[in-house]
């Protein structure tokens, strides 16, 4: 069937969303009633989207005015966009939510005519690392970096002497206050991390200490958020890039903010007279009428006070069982780390009400007691385990066009050891859709707020992350919601569109390292510390 616009998703006489999925079975009355209730809970109307965006705009402005708000609006000290002429050899490391990636960028230029190579290795983060100590974290990272240098015969080509070290850019995808581009104090862990001894500390100082202890021949030049890196890398190939966004394990955005002294565009930015003069010189040297700085929003913590977000009982449960209850409210409703868990919690609740998987559920007590032997034998213990289901599970369900949805059945059998009936398959397909639609619609709110605050009327948002890249319908749903918020009608034909981001955590951070060294050579050392 043809795609259905979000404007048509809700019938005029009902809360029931009009599913994009073809029906394979009728739901029993009790299950149909449960679906109607869930439908109402998870739908975010156009009016609600606009309420959320209005509050979003306020919190974005508050973040530019002072420190300590829900949305920190972190200064990155990345001034301007890439010229495309940066050259040299640079290391890049990327600490994400799942993997550590180490890259080597070699060559000049990063546009269509650029000649560079990118060599990389991924190292899976052990699950235990996410709740360990600072020493364990930096030891793991420096050990991986040492292995990479050795494997690629770089250890003997550089020394620890200041002029003979390999420049390194660090993609650190967590909220950090940066007083310089090579400095960053971790504000709080996100993405399920809770590593002791790092919050409130300068992560670059801790990292440098471990680099020195292993005698590695590298020079940490810059600390960069992945959204900033994605934006900088994407803007060269696509001059219409207006922002970078991450829709993956977490959610975030970055954009270029003009630095105007009077009236102050960034009131919390405190510069000396000679630094403002240096900015004027930088603008003249680089052809910018007004110098811009990349702002890393870190808006996963939007509305922690829950003034406008439409939370459900399942969102409350996700928050309550998370390492940091009361934090990252927006992220927990919209980011990929949590969508599968919300889906699982809904299923568990229905099993306990004996509405789903009834052939397996007799041993799961209604009050949440332990699973009995019969249920264990049939696999319901899998369903009870937190985060057994990830967002890829939901994506696969929505993307399944196999006969009788065989791929979905196989997925339930493989992951959960369950064999759903036709009505249960139908219910799960529609539930996956409800949760994914809500996530995409919420994700449109942050970009809408940035565009409204900055007067941006057209351009491309360079998006990266597993949800943006792998969910089959995310981009269209996001665009439709943005169109509703900004009164365009069909957002897929609107002037602001999602594009696929360039490699921000690899190429992007390496380019920023090169930009930083070139700016230092021009004598514009704002945000670099002492020479």
Would you name the residues annotated as active-site residues?
A: 173, 188, 226
Q: What gap in Å lies between CA 331 and CA 513, rounded to an integer?
A: 29
* SS3 state of residue 280: helix
* SS3 state of residue 505: helix
Q: What gap in Å lies between CA 86 and CA 239, rounded to an integer?
A: 17
Residues pairing with 218 in the sheet:
166
CB 297 within 8 A of CB 253: yes
DSSP conformation letters of 252-269: EEEEEEE--TTTTSSTT-
List, in order, residues 6 or more apart from 216 with CB less than 8 Å away: 142, 145, 146, 149, 160
Of the candidates 446, 179, 455, the one whose C-alpha atom is nearest the C-alpha of residue 298 is 446
Residues pairing with 101 in the sheet:
94, 122
List, in order, residues 6 or more apart from 482 with CB less than 8 Å away: 444, 447, 448, 488, 491, 494, 496
Tell me whether strands 74-79 and 292-296 are parallel, antiparallel or unpaired. antiparallel
Q: What gap in Å lies between CA 166 and CA 179, rounded to an integer?
A: 23
Q: What does the DSSP 8-state code read for residue 155?
A: T
Q: What gap in Å lies between CA 494 and CA 458, rounded to an integer?
A: 8
Residues pairing with 353 in the sheet:
none
Peptide bond into 264 cis (omega under 30): no
Q: How many residues does the chain have?
A: 531
């Amino acid at each position: 069937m043809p795609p259905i616009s979000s404007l048509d998703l809700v019938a005029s006489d009902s809360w029931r969303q009009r599913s994009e999925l073809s029906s394979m079975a009728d739901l029993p009355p009790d299950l149909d009633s449960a679906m109607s209730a869930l439908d109402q809970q998870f739908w975010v109307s156009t009016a609600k989207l606009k309420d959320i965006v209005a509050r979003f705009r306020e919190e974005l402005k508050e973040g530019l005015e002072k420190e300590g708000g829900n949305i920190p609006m972190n200064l990155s000290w990345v001034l301007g966009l890439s010229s495309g002429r940066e050259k040299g050899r640079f290391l890049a490391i990327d600490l994400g939510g799942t993997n550590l990636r180490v890259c080597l960028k070699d060559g000049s230029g990063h546009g269509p005519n650029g000649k560079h190579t990118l060599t990389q290795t991924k190292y899976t983060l052990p699950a235990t690392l996410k709740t360990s100590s600072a020493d364990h974290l930096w030891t793991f990272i420096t050990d991986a970096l040492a292995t990479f240098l050795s494997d690629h015969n770089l250890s003997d080509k550089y020394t620890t002497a200041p002029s003979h070290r390999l420049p390194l850019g660090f993609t650190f995808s967590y909220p950090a206050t940066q007083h310089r581009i090579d400095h960053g104090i971790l504000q709080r862990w996100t993405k399920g991390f809770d590593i002791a001894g790092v919050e409130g500390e300068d992560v670059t100082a801790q990292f440098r200490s471990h680099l020195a202890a292993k005698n590695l021949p590298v020079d940490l030049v810059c600390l960069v958020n992945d959204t900033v890196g994605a934006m900088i890398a994407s803007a060269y190939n696509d001059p219409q890039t207006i922002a970078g966004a991450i829709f993956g394990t977490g959610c975030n955005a970055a954009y270029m903010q003009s630095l105007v002294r009077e009236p102050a565009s960034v009131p919390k930015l405190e510069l000396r007279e000679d630094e403002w003069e240096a900015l004027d010189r930088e603008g003249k040297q680089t052809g910018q009428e007004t110098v811009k700085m990349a702002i890393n929003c870190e808006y996963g913590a939007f509305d922690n006070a829950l003034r406008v977000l439409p939370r459900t009982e399942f969102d409350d449960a996700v928050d309550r069982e998370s390492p940091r209850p009361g934090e990252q409210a927006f992220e927990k409703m919209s980011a990929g780390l949590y969508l599968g868990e919300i889906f699982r919690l809904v299923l568990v609740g229905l099993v306990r009400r004996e509405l789903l998987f009834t052939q397996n559920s007799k041993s799961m007590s209604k009050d949440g007691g332990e699973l009995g032997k019969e249920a264990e034998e049939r696999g319901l213990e899998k369903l009870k385990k937190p985060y057994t289901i990830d967002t890829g599970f939901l994506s696969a369900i929505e993307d399944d066009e196999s006969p009788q949805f065989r791929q979905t059945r196989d997925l339930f059998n493989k992951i959960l050891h369950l064999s759903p009936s036709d009505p249960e398959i139908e219910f799960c397909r529609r539930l996956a859709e409800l949760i994914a639609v809500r996530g995409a619609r919420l994700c449109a709110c942050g970009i809408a707020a940035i565009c409204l605050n900055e007067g941006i009327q057209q351009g491309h948002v360079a998006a990266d992350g597993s949800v943006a890249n792998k969910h089959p319908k995310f981009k269209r749903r996001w665009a439709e919601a943005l169109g509703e918020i900004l009164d365009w009608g069909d957002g897929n034909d609107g002037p602001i569109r999602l594009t696929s981001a360039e490699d921000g955590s690899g190429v992007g951070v390496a380019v920023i390292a090169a930009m930083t060294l070139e700016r230092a050579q021009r004598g514009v050392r704002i945000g670099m510390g002492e020479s």
